[in-house]
Amino acid sequence: MQELRTRFGTLVAANRRRLGITQEELSSRAEVSVDMISRIEAGATGARFTTIDKLARALLVDPAELFTPDLPEGALQRRQLTSVVSRLAKLSDKDLLWVDEVLKAVLKHR
């Protein structure tokens, strides 16, 4: 169960960052307390279906996307992506900007 909570929290955080919003902004959009958002993203708690639905709507994703980053049938396995997203979700905004710049520089030459 802890692995599922961690994955859920990681994907909530990743989708929040994708939108460029803070935990406070997500809290307001989803009508869920900031403390709950923080605990969910840390994997410290799960969420009821109503909360999952509120978060998915606020993050503009299907609720299922908060549990699995898998692509449609025939796509590459996403274990490496899940691992990378888990690590990135723990970084500060400043560190994420740095990683983004590094990726741009590396991928520019491909």
Q: Which amino acid is at 28?
A: S
Q: What is the mean pLDDT of residues 49-72?
A: 83
Map tokens 């994907």 to a residue. Answer: 11
**Span 65-74, mean pLDDT?**
60
Q: How confident is the model at residue 25 (pLDDT cuts 50, 70, 90)?
A: very high
Q: What is the pLDDT of residue 16?
A: 92
Q: What is the mean pLDDT of residues 30-52?
A: 95
N-terminal to C-terminal alpha carbon distance within the chain: 40
Q: How high is the pLDDT of residue 87?
A: 79
pTM over 0.85: no
Contact 10, 43 (CB under 8 A): yes
